[in-house]
Amino acid sequence: MGNELRFDGKVAIVTGAGNGLGRSHALLLASRGAKVVINDLGGSSTGGGRASEAADKVVAEIKAAGGEAVANYDSVEDGTKIVQTALDTWKRLDIVINNAGILRDTSFQKMTEQDWELIYRVHLLGAFRVTQAAWPHLRDQGYGRLLFTASAAGIYGNFGQANYSMAKLGLVGFANTLAIEGRKKNILVNAIAPIAGSRMTETVLPKEVVDALRPEYVSPLAAWLCHEECQETGSLFEVGGGFMAKLRWERTRGKVFKLGRAITPEAVQKSWESITDFTEATHPTDVAAGMQPVMDNLTSQSKGGNEFIDVDAALGYQFPETTSSYDERDLSLYALGVGAAQDPLDTKELQYVYELHGEGFRPLPTYGVIPALNSVLKMSAEGKQAPGLNYGLDRVLHGEQYTELLRPLPPKASLRHKGRIKDIFDKGKNALVVTEVTSYDAQTGEPLVRNEITTFVRGAGGWGGERGPVTDIPPPERAPDAVITEKTHENQALLYRLSGDWNPLHADPEFARNFGFQKPILHGLCTFGYVGRHVIKAFANGDPRLFKSIRVRFADTVLPGETLRTEMWKDGERVIIRCKVVERDKVVISNAAVELHKEVPSAQAKPAASAQASAPAAAGGGSASARVFEAIRAYVAQHPELVAKVANVYLFKLTQPDSTWTLDLKNGAGAVQQGAQGKADCSLELTDADFLAMTSGKADPQKLYFGGKLKITGNVMASQKLGFLGKVGSAGEGSAPAKASAAPASGNEGSGSSHVGNGRASALFTALQERLAQKPELARELGAVIQFHITDPEGFWVVDGKGTPSVRDGKADKADLALRLSDEDLAALVQDPQAVQRLYQHGKLRVDGDIRLASRLGFLKQLI
C-alpha cells in the first residue's frame, strides 16, 4: 500500500509487551517496520514472580514475520536498563509506550499498604523511570513519541480499584506536563484509556466480553499516536471494541464571589445551582485557562448586597436582545390612552391620532418608553430576570422614569432593544434598581430612544452601598409660566393598558382592593404621557419633534376620572414640571423636567441594500492597532532571524473594538496577517487600548496579566519572547494613517434643504429629473405641479409639468396636487403607478388638491 503508515528506521520500547495490549502494540509496530524492545518481567497479573518466556515468545513471532525485535526482562523500576537495551542494540530510540501494569484489586476497607505501594511502583514509578531514562536521548535528537496507558478507572473511578485509579489518573497528569515540556523538541506525548481483553481485565469482566474486546482494536490508535505524521499532543483518548474518542475537561461557568465580601457556607448553598450547572460549560486546555477566572477576580471588589439584591451578580447584567415593531395604529392608540384629541377639532392634537393629517402624522415622543417597557415586562412574564435580583412584584414600585429621544420617532418602525442593569443604589431601608434600555432602528442601526426605568424596591436596602446621585429638581419659588388642567376619563386606565401594561392593578377592582386601593389606579406612565403632551402644547407650539427628553419621579397615585394640573416653569432649554391631582391637592409627579430642542433634529438615511452588501467586513483597518501591526510586519521583514529565535505562532484577540491578528514567527520568513490563520501556539486577549499601551512601553505585560487585563492561553512561556514588540509598537502607534479622500456629502447639511434624510426618494427624484430632460413630453402630458411630501425619512420634492419640465427639492408656492406617503411606499409606487389606489384605500397615501391628477403618475414607472 503506497499510503501505508510506516515506522521504518524507528526504534520503539513497549513495556509489558509479553501479553495483551503490549503484545498487540509491539506486533503492529514491528509489522510496519519498527525495531521493537519487547519488555516484560514475566510475572503474574498481581505482580508476583518473573520469567523470560513471555517476552521471548513475542520476539520470536516478530522475527518469524521478518521483523526486528529484542527481549528485555527487567522491571520497569529499572527503566535505565530497558532504555540501554535499545541503545546497545540499535544506537537510537524514538518511541516509548508505557504499557506495563498489574492489578491488586480490593475494597479500600481491605486494602493494605503493600497493595497501594505495588500499584504505585509498577504504574507510576515504573513509567517515570523508563521515561526519564529515555528523555535526554529524545531531546538530543529533536524527536520522540511517548504514549502512556491510563484507564477508565482513573477517569471515572471504580469500586475496588482505589490504588489502580490513583495511578492511572496520575499518568494522565504526567503525560500532560511532558507534552508541554517536550513540544519545543518535537517530543509529542499522549495517553490512552483502553478497554481490552487481557489477564488484567478477565478478573473484572465476563469471559464473553473479554473475548470480544480484542487488543487489536486498540493498537491502531496507539500506532497512529506514535507516528511521525501525527501532531497530536497532550491528549487523552478512550478506545476499545472499535470505539475511539478524545476526552477533554469540562467546567461549569461557575459562580464568582467578588472579593472583599464574606463568602459563607450559606452563600455557597444558595449558589449551588450556578456552581454545578453545565449549561454554559467551558473547556480549559491549560493552567493559564484554568486560572483565568481566578485571575480575573483578583482585582474585583464586592459592591455588597443582601438576600433581595446581590449587587455583584446584577449590576451590569445585559438582558437578551429583544425586538418589536409599531405603526400608526399603535401610536394613535397610545395617544388616546394619554388623553390626546379629547377635542377632535384641535388640529394640533389630531396629528397624534390621524395618519393622514394635513401637516403630517406626529408620534407623541413619550411613546418612546412603551416598546422598552413592554420588552422588560415580556421578559419578566417569561421568567427572564437579571441574576441577583431576588424580589417579587409585591416589593416594587415604578419610582422614576427618564426617556430620551435621540431623534423624533418615525410613524412606524421595527426596533431592537438592548437592556442592562445600569445602577443599583442603597437608600437605607429601600433600594433603587435602574434598568437602561436603548432602542435601535432595526433597519439603520441608529439609536432612537434611551430609557432609564428606576424601580423602587421596598425593604431591600441597608447593605451600606452607594446612595446614588441627588436627582431632585425643585420648582422655582415663583408662579408657573404655564398651567394646563385636564380631566382624565373614568376608563382611562382601561384604555391606556391596551398599549401593553398588563398589571391587573389597573383593571381588576378586587385585585386593587387587595392592595389597599378603592379602585384600579391609573398607570404612572399614563400621567407621564399627559405631562409630556402638556409641555409640547405649552412650550413647543404643538410640535412633538422638538421634544428631547423627560425625567420624572412618581410621587403618588392617580385614580381614573381625577383631574390633573400640570404646572410648568421655563428654565433655559428645559421646562421644570410639577403635576397635581386637583381633587385631593396631591403632588403625583415631582422632581421632573423636559428638555427641548431648538430645532428639529435630522434622521439618518436608510442604508441602500447594495451599500450594505458591499460594505467591507474587515475590522480595525484604519485603527492605531492596525498601524502597529503594519509596523510589526515591516520589522519582521527586516529581521528574519526572529523566526528561528522565537519559533512560535501568536494569535492576538483585541477587543473594544474587536479585531484579530496572527503573528507567525515559526514558518517561512514570518508573517503578520489579520484574522485567525492556522493553529496558534500562544493566544493573547486584551483590549485594543491595553495592546497599544503594552507595545508602546506604557504598560507592563506582567502587570496586565496578573491584573486580569491580559489573558494568555496555550504556551504561556512563549509570550515571554515578544519583548521586541516594544521596539516597534510606539512607532506604529504614532504613525499617521494614509489620508482618505473625502467623499461628497449625499445629504444637504447646512444647505437649507427642505429634506432631512435621503432614503430612496433622493435617488428616485434625481432619476425622474433625468427622465424628464430626455422626454419632456411626459411633463407636458401631466400639465400640473405636484408636491410630494415624503416621510420616514422626511423630505419635500416638486415636480413641475406646466412650464419648463423640472424636479426640485423643496415646497411649491402653489401645487395642483399634493401627495403625502412614506419613502418605502414611494418605492412601491415607482414599481407600479397603479398602486396609488391601493395605497390610498389603506391609508398610506394622502391626496389633496385635484385628485384626478393622481391617475397621471405613469411618468414614475420603473425609474430605477
Give the pLDDT of residue 611: 35
Nearest residue to 215 (alpha-carbon basis) of 251, 240, 248, 181? 240
The confidence band for 417, taking pLDDT boundaries of 50, 70 and 90, is: very high
Q: How far apart are CA 32 and CA 222, in angstroms?
A: 13
The strand pairing partners of 575, in sequence order, are: 570, 594
Give the pLDDT of residue 419: 95
Torsion angle, CA of 78/79/85/88, rounded to 10 degrees? -110
Give the pLDDT of residue 209: 66
pLDDT digit string, tens, across residues 261-301? 788 898 899 889 999 999 999 999 888 889 999 988 888 88
Per-residue pLDDT averaged across 110-121, rounded?
94
Give the pLDDT of residue 727: 64
CA 524 to chain centre: 35
Nearest residue to 594 (alpha-carbon basis) of 627, 570, 616? 570
Residue 381, pLDDT > 80, answer no
Residue carrying the nine cell digits 389630531 = 350
Fold for 761-860, please state it: Nonspecific Lipid-transfer Protein; Chain A (3.30.1050)
Q: How far apart are CA 163 and CA 167, in angstroms?
A: 6
Q: Greater confidence, 329 or 854?
A: 329
Residue 569, pLDDT > 90, answer yes
Q: Residue 56: phi, psi to the nearest 5?
A: -60, -40
List 73, 143, 164, 705, catalytic entry: 164
Q: How far apart are CA 9 and CA 24, in angstroms?
A: 20
Distances 282 to 268, 317, 410 between C-alpha atoms, Å: 20, 20, 44
Range(s) within the chain of domains with CATH label 3.10.129.10:
322-596
Q: How far apart are CA 724 and CA 726, in angstroms?
A: 5
Per-residue pLDDT averaged across 304-317, rounded?
91
What is the 8-class DSSP label of residue 124? I
Residue 227 near residue 268 (C-beta atoms within 8 A): no
Per-residue pLDDT averaged across 393-407, rounded?
92
Residue 751, pLDDT > 50, answer no
Give the pLDDT of residue 278: 95
Residues constituting the chain:
864
Nearest residue to 789 (alpha-carbon basis) of 193, 407, 357, 337? 357
Superfamily classification of domain 621-734 = SCP2 sterol-binding domain (3.30.1050.10)
pLDDT digit string, tens, across residues 116-159? 999 999 999 999 999 999 999 999 999 999 999 999 999 999 99
pLDDT digit string, tens, across residues 500-558? 887 889 999 998 898 889 999 999 999 999 999 999 999 999 999 999 999 999 999 99
- Report residue 777 as a C-alpha cell: 413630453
Q: How far apart are CA 550 and CA 575, in angstroms?
A: 9
Residue 842 near residue 849 (C-beta atoms within 8 A): no
Q: Which residues contact 386 (CB under 8 A, 6 or more apart)?
A: 314, 317, 319, 421
Distances 197 to 21, 206, 555 between C-alpha atoms, Å: 8, 10, 80
Q: Residue 799: phi, psi to the nearest 5?
A: -110, 115
Q: How far apart are CA 228 and CA 322, in angstroms?
A: 52
Residue 630, pLDDT > 90, answer no
Three-state secondary structure readout of 611-648:
HHHHCCCCCCCCCHHHHHHHHHHHHHHHCCHHHHHHCE
Q: Which residues contact 385 (CB under 8 A, 6 or more apart)?
A: 379
What is the 8-class DSSP label of residue 468? -
Mean predicted lDDT score pLDDT of the chain? 87
Q: Which amino acid is at 329?
A: R
Highest-pLDDT range among 167-171, 256-260, 737-741: 167-171
Residue 745, pLDDT > 50, answer no
Class of domain 252-302: mainly alpha
Classify 133 as helix, strand or coil.
helix
Q: How far apart are CA 807 and CA 800, in angstroms?
A: 6
Per-residue pLDDT averaged across 461-465, rounded?
91
Residue 175 near residue 193 (C-beta atoms within 8 A): no
Q: Which residues contact 365 (CB under 8 A, 6 or more apart)?
A: 403, 405, 408, 409, 532, 536, 544, 547, 550
Q: How far apart are CA 17 and CA 95, in angstroms?
A: 14
Q: How far apart are CA 526 and CA 343, in angstroms?
A: 18
Residue 622, pLDDT > 80, answer no
Class of domain 11-247: alpha beta
Q: Does domain 322-596 have CATH number 3.40.50.2000?
A: no
Give the pLDDT of residue 615: 35
Range(s) within the chain of domains with CATH label 1.10.287:
252-302
Per-residue pLDDT averaged across 634-644, rounded?
84
- Report residue 226 as a C-alpha cell: 506514535
Residue carrying the nine cell digits 510586519 = 633
Q: How far apart are CA 365 and CA 718, in angstroms?
A: 57
Q: Which amino acid is at 695?
A: T
The strand pairing partners of 454, in sequence order, are: 400, 434
Residue 738, pLDDT > 60, answer no
Q: How far apart are CA 765 and CA 761, in angstroms?
A: 6
What separation, in Å, do the N-terminal and C-terminal C-alpha atoms of the chain show? 64
What value does the CA radius of gyration of the chain take, rounded to a whole number of Å?
Answer: 39
Q: How far apart are CA 845 and CA 584, in angstroms?
A: 47
Q: How far apart are CA 693 and CA 710, in angstroms?
A: 12
CA 702 to chain centre: 27
* Alpha helix ranges (H) inside 568-622: 609-614
Residue carrying the nine cell digits 521483523 = 67
pLDDT digit string, tens, across residues 586-621? 999 999 999 999 888 876 554 443 333 333 333 344
Residue 83 near residue 34 (C-beta atoms within 8 A): no
- b/e code 571-604 from CB counts within 10 Å (16+ = b): eeebbbbbbbbeeeeebbbbbbbbbbbeeeebbb
- Report residue 111 as a C-alpha cell: 486494602
Q: Which residues contact 33 (CB under 8 A, 6 or more apart)?
A: 6, 7, 8, 9, 10, 67
Per-residue pLDDT averaged across 720-724, rounded?
79
Range(s) within the chain of domains with CATH label 3.30.1050.10:
621-734, 761-860
530 catalytically annotated: no
Give the pLDDT of residue 739: 32
* Alpha helix ranges (H) inside 3-78: 20-31, 53-64
Residue 752, pLDDT > 70, answer no
Give the pLDDT of residue 617: 35
Q: Which residues contact 774 (CB under 8 A, 6 or more apart)?
A: none
